[in-house]
């Protein structure tokens, strides 16, 4: 089984590419979904987070208020690192379990959709890595439109991640997502074909 790591900066369009790959029939492990799973009500993950960050980050039904937690951690590097420390081991364990599941299922190609692919060392689990990229100004613009953030908050969220030049330099392929969706899809397909990663029809 070949593993393709898919990543990109915030608002780069990584989810669009991930959705496209899913529609083509590729099995996908989505780290955002995994990170939500490990903080569901009554999980160890949520207990630990509320212990360190207080019950303010919980909604009235006991679930995590992700927006509130996001505001706290994006403003404070130490708190962001603490959150990553609490969650990273739990997320990694769940991702490894899911990789084993797909291996047993006989999958030919598996996509790991992980925002912090390089920062978390997940690239070491991959045979190939693909970065979805857009220029910084377009990234800021999309983030402001998508999440209703101020320019200053958008910049803070972007700077909380790996620098895009550094991320791009680590990738096997960089997909430029600044043009049309069709153009992005064509780049993805061309690269998959070149590396014999297209699924059998």
pLDDT at residue 48, rounded to an integer: 95
pTM across the whole model: 0.87
The mean per-residue pLDDT over the stretch 45-56 comes to 94
Annotated binding site for ATP: 11-16
Separation of first and last alpha carbons in the chain: 17
Q: Pick from 33, 61, 60, 62: which is nearest to 49 by CA?
A: 62
pLDDT tier at 200, thresholds 50, 70, 90 = confident
Q: Rounded CA gap, 33 and 177, in Å? A: 23
Q: Tell me the mean pLDDT in the region 158-173.
A: 92
Give the integer Cα–Cα distance in Å for 105 and 113.
19
pLDDT value of position 201? 64
The third-level CATH classification (topology) of the domain covering 1-27+108-201 is Rossmann fold (3.40.50)
pLDDT exceeding 90 applies to what percent of the chain? 85
pLDDT score for 117: 96
The answer to whether residue 80 scores a pLDDT higher than 80 is yes
Statement: residue 75 has pLDDT above 90: no
Mean local confidence (pLDDT), 7-33: 96
Instruction: Assign 21 a pLDDT band (cuts: 50, 70, 90).
Output: very high
Residues of the chain with CATH 3.40.50.300: 1-27+108-201, 34-106
Q: 197 pLDDT band (50/70/90 cuts)?
A: very high
Indicate the average pLDDT of the chain: 94
Residues 22-36: pLDDT tens digits?
999 999 999 999 999
**Token pair in block for residue 141:** 């613009």
Looking at domain 34-106, its CATH architecture is: 3-Layer(aba) Sandwich (3.40)
For 8-76, where are the alpha helices, taking DSSP H only?
14-23, 31-37, 44-53, 66-75
At 96-152, the pLDDT tens digits run: 999 999 999 999 999 999 999 999 999 999 999 999 999 999 999 999 999 999 999
User: Which residue numbers belong to the known binding site?
Assistant: 11-16
- Contact in structure between 143 and 154 (CB atoms under 8 Å): yes
């Amino acid at each position: 089984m070949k593993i393709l790591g898919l990543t990109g900066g915030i608002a780069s369009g990584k989810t669009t590419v991930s959705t496209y790959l899913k529609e083509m029939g590729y099995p996908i492990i989505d780290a955002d979904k995994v990170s939500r799973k490990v903080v569901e009500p009554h999980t160890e993950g949520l207990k630990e987070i509320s212990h360190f960050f207080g019950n303010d980050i919980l909604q009235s039904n006991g679930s995590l208020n992700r927006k509130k937690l996001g505001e706290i951690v994006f403003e404070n590097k130490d708190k962001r690192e603490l959150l990553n420390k609490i969650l990273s081991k739990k997320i990694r364990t769940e991702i490894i379990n899911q990789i084993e599941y797909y291996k047993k299922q006989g999958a030919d190609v598996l996509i790991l959709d992980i925002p912090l692919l390089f920062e978390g060392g997940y690239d070491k689990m991959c045979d190939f890595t693909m970065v979805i990229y857009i220029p910084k100004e377009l990234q800021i613009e999309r983030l402001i439109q998508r999440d209703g953030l101020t320019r200053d908050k958008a910049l803070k969220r972007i700077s909380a991640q790996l620098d895009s030049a550094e991320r791009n330099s680590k990738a096997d392929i960089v997909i430029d997502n600044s043009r049309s969706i069709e153009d992005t899809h064509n780049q993805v397909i061309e690269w998959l074909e070149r590396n014999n990663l297209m699924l059998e029809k």
